């Protein structure tokens, strides 16, 4: 198994901490709004990693956090909290109770998005608000070891005390814009970051005063609680690498004295008009947006599968339409297979392992599946087996392509019967007229091996 490690910036042979088990932490969403399709690509990547390791026989213990408190707008420990922005948008008073209630609304929506995208639900989806105790305990340890200092607005981590700070992704600490978006005049160094932020009105009690945990400490606290001090894999979007993940390393390793993560895996951006898709730039495209435009969430999953996770991916409605057509063609190929009987085809299984063991190469696997289905020298029962095997990674619900029944209205059934008779009489003009009439009712018709295949 070869994995690209963002820490060493090279592809490495994967060696787990414990044979047969993977400990994986995925940076989850900040639940202040519906999650857009750029962020969903990161969670899809985590799903592919999990499916891959499970396919080759590992037990994956997966944790994905839900950030419902403590995430500032910028990485600079200043500005309005994102959850506070959500309260203002909903015209609610800024209270902890309201913050948690809004977080619950968008957490539920996020879980629904995961299901629609056929992303396996992680073993644990802990909320930041329910793990404050763990944050405080870690800050106490860091304080005892001399890594913290106090300012008027909070408790900060002194990055100068850690010699290897910024080792992930080769962070240039001399370049202030790389390591911090905003500055705080009370900080000793521009890269120092908040562990605890004071708030007299809201938040939780702590040894340093009432307030909220810093965004970064939340992930360190939850990872340690559910997975231990050293884990195999930590994932996230490319934008989290330089600041958030370097800060996680600093907190975790300075408190425990151990390596925090062995393999860091980062997914590239989803771009629209050449720029990273983000809410701030008007790119608030969600699963709901897709559905309103008559796209299925699995059309988006198929689009994700066509690009390697470390490659930037362009998005437009035309590109998504192309992906939709690609998935439709794949399903039609499956519908042509007359039997549900499966016959093992070891050669294809070996190809699956070759592709996914090379840094989770889903585009190659998808292309190979299309190629196999077009190969007339391979029997139908073998193709059925290969579809089931490939879909354990792809997650496109392909094995149900044949079994999904469409509820056909009686008037459409009559038209189908008339068209069948017209085709038997070689009345092609009437056959085409009926097909066009059926289309007006929202059903698409195609002829496969002498049978009429209908789809919405």
Digit-coded pLDDT (tens) for 335-359: 878 777 789 999 999 999 999 999 9
**Residue 176: predicted pLDDT:** 59
The last residue of one of the domains, among 400, 429, 447, is: 400
**Residue 73: predicted pLDDT:** 40
The last residue of one of the domains, among 359, 374, 400, is: 400
Q: Where are the alpha helices (DSSP H) in 313-427?
A: 317-335, 346-356, 362-374, 380-394, 410-424
Q: How far is CA 321 from CA 299, 300, 317, in A?
A: 8, 10, 6
Same domain, yes or no: 41 and 171 = yes
Q: Taking residues 382-399, what's their average pLDDT?
A: 94
Backbone torsions φ then ψ of 156, nearest 5 degrees: -120, 155
Confidence of residue 151 (pLDDT cuts 50, 70, 90): very high
Same domain, yes or no: 229 and 312 = no
Confidence of residue 181 (pLDDT cuts 50, 70, 90): very low
**Residue 130: predicted pLDDT:** 96
Indicate whether 39 belongs to any domain: yes
CA triplet 26, 210, 124: central angle to 5 degrees?
20
The last residue of one of the domains, among 267, 301, 322, is: 267
Indicate whether 276 belongs to any domain: no
SS3 287: helix
Q: How far is CA 59 from CA 22, 26, 50, in A?
A: 6, 16, 9
Same domain, yes or no: 259 and 366 = no
Same domain, yes or no: 153 and 42 = yes
**Residue 449: predicted pLDDT:** 60
Indicate whether 422 belongs to any domain: yes
pLDDT at position 65 over 60:
yes
Report d(CA 305, CA 236) in Å as an integer.
Answer: 17
**Residue 114: predicted pLDDT:** 98
**Residue 406: predicted pLDDT:** 61
Q: Please count the structural domains in the chain.
A: 3
Query: Chain-wide mean pLDDT for the chain?
Result: 90
Other CB atoms within 10 Å distance of the CB of residue 449: 9
Same domain, yes or no: 378 and 446 = no
Nearest to 24 by CA among 247, 217, 226: 226
Q: Taking residues 190-212, what's their average pLDDT?
A: 93
Q: Taking residues 422-446, what's their average pLDDT?
A: 89
Same domain, yes or no: 289 and 369 = yes
Same domain, yes or no: 291 and 333 = yes
Confidence of residue 275 (pLDDT cuts 50, 70, 90): confident
Same domain, yes or no: 396 and 416 = no
pLDDT by residue (tens digit) across 221-274? 999 999 999 999 999 999 999 999 999 999 999 999 999 999 999 999 999 877
Indicate whether 405 belongs to any domain: no
- Outline where DSSP puts E strands in 225-341: 231-237, 261-267, 270-272, 275-276, 313-314
CA triplet 444, 450, 452: central angle to 5 degrees?
25
Q: Taking residues 78-93, what's their average pLDDT?
A: 80
Indicate whether 272 belongs to any domain: no
Q: How far is CA 40 from CA 113, 285, 300, 303, in A?
A: 9, 10, 10, 12
Domain with residue 38: its CATH number is 3.40.50.620
The parent domain of residue 353 ranges over 281-400
Confidence of residue 74 (pLDDT cuts 50, 70, 90): very low
Same domain, yes or no: 379 and 416 = no
Indicate whether 142 belongs to any domain: yes
pLDDT by residue (tens digit) across 328-337? 999 988 887 8
Indicate whether 273 belongs to any domain: no
For residue 244, the 8-state DSSP code is I
Nearest to 1 by CA among 9, 308, 11: 11
Q: Taking residues 134-159, what's their average pLDDT?
A: 97
Kindly state the percentage of the chain with pLDDT values over 70.
93
> Could you please report the per-residue DSSP string of 385-409?
HHHHHHHHHH-S-GGGTTTPPP---
Q: Which structure tokens are listed for 442?
A: 């929202």
Sign of CA dihedral 251, 254, 256, 261: positive
Q: Taking residues 123-145, what's their average pLDDT?
A: 97
Q: Taking residues 377-394, what's their average pLDDT?
A: 95
Q: Which structure tokens are listed for 277?
A: 């898709």
H or E segment and range at residue 337: none
Indicate whether 351 belongs to any domain: yes
Kindly state the percentage of the chain with pLDDT values over 90.
73
Q: Which structure tokens are listed for 320?
A: 């998504």
Backbone torsions φ then ψ of 225, nearest 5 degrees: -65, -45
Q: Which structure tokens are listed for 49?
A: 């990693």
The model's pTM is: 0.87
**Residue 75: predicted pLDDT:** 45
pLDDT by residue (tens digit) across 358-384? 999 999 999 999 999 999 999 999 999
Report d(CA 423, CA 419) in Å as an integer.
Answer: 6
Same domain, yes or no: 252 and 337 = no
Same domain, yes or no: 116 and 263 = yes
**Residue 282: predicted pLDDT:** 58
Q: How far apart are the first and last CA of the chain?
A: 41
Same domain, yes or no: 187 and 309 = no
Backbone torsions φ then ψ of 163, nearest 5 degrees: -60, -35
């Amino acid at each position: 198994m070869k994995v690209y490690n963002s820490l060493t910036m090279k592809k490495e042979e994967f060696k787990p901490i414990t044979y047969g088990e993977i400990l994986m932490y995925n940076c989850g969403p900040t639940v202040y709004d519906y999650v857009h399709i750029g962020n969903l690509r990161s969670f899809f990547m985590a799903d592919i990693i999990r499916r891959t390791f499970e396919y080759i026989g590992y037990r994956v213990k997966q944790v994905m956090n839900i950030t419902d408190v403590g995430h500032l707008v910028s990485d600079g420990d200043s500005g309005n909290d994102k959850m506070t922005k959500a309260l203002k948008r909903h015209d609610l008073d800024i209270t902890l109770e309201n913050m948690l209630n809004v977080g619950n609304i968008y957490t539920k929506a996020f879980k629904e998005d995961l299901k629609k995208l056929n992303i396996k639900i992680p073993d644990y989806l802990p909320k930041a608000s329910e793990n404050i105790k763990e944050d405080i305990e870690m800050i106490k340890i860091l304080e005892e070891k001399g890594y913290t200092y106090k300012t008027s607005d909070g408790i900060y981590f002194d990055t100068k005390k850690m010699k290897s700070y910024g080792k992930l992704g080769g962070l240039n600490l001399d370049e202030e814009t790389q390591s911090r978006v905003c500055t705080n005049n009370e900080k000793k160094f521009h890269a120092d970051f908040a562990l605890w932020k004071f708030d007299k009105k809201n938040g939780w009690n702590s040894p340093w005063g009432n307030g909220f945990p810093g965004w970064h400490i939340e992930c360190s606290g939850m990872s340690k609680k559910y997975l231990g001090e050293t884990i195999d894999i930590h994932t996230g979007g490319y934008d989290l690498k330089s600041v958030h993940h370097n800060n996680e390393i600093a907190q975790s390793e300075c408190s425990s004295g151990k390596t925090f993560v062995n393999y860091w895996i980062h997914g590239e951006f989803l771009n629209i008009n050449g720029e990273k898709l983000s809410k701030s730039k008007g790119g608030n495209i969600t699963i709901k947006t897709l559905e309103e435009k008559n796209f299925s969430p699995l059309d988006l999953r198929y689009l994700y599968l066509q690009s390697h996770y470390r490659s930037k991916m362009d998005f437009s409605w035309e590109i998504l339409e192309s992906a939709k057509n690609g998935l439709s063609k794949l399903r039609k190929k499956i519908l042509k297979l007359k039997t549900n009987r499966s016959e093992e085809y070891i050669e294809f299984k070996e190809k699956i392992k070759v592709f996914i063991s090379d840094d989770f190469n889903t585009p190659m696997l998808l292309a190979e599946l299309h190629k196999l289905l077009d190969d007339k020298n391979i029997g139908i029962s073998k193709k059925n087996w290969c579809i089931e095997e490939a879909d354990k990674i792809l997650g496109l619900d392909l094995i149900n392509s044949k079994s999904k029944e469409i509820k056909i209205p009686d008037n459409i059934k009559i038209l189908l019967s008339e068209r069948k008779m017209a085709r038997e009489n070689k009345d092609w003009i009437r056959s085409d007229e009926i097909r066009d009439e059926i289309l007006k009712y929202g059903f698409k018709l195609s002829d496969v091996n002498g049978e009429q295949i209908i789809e919405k």
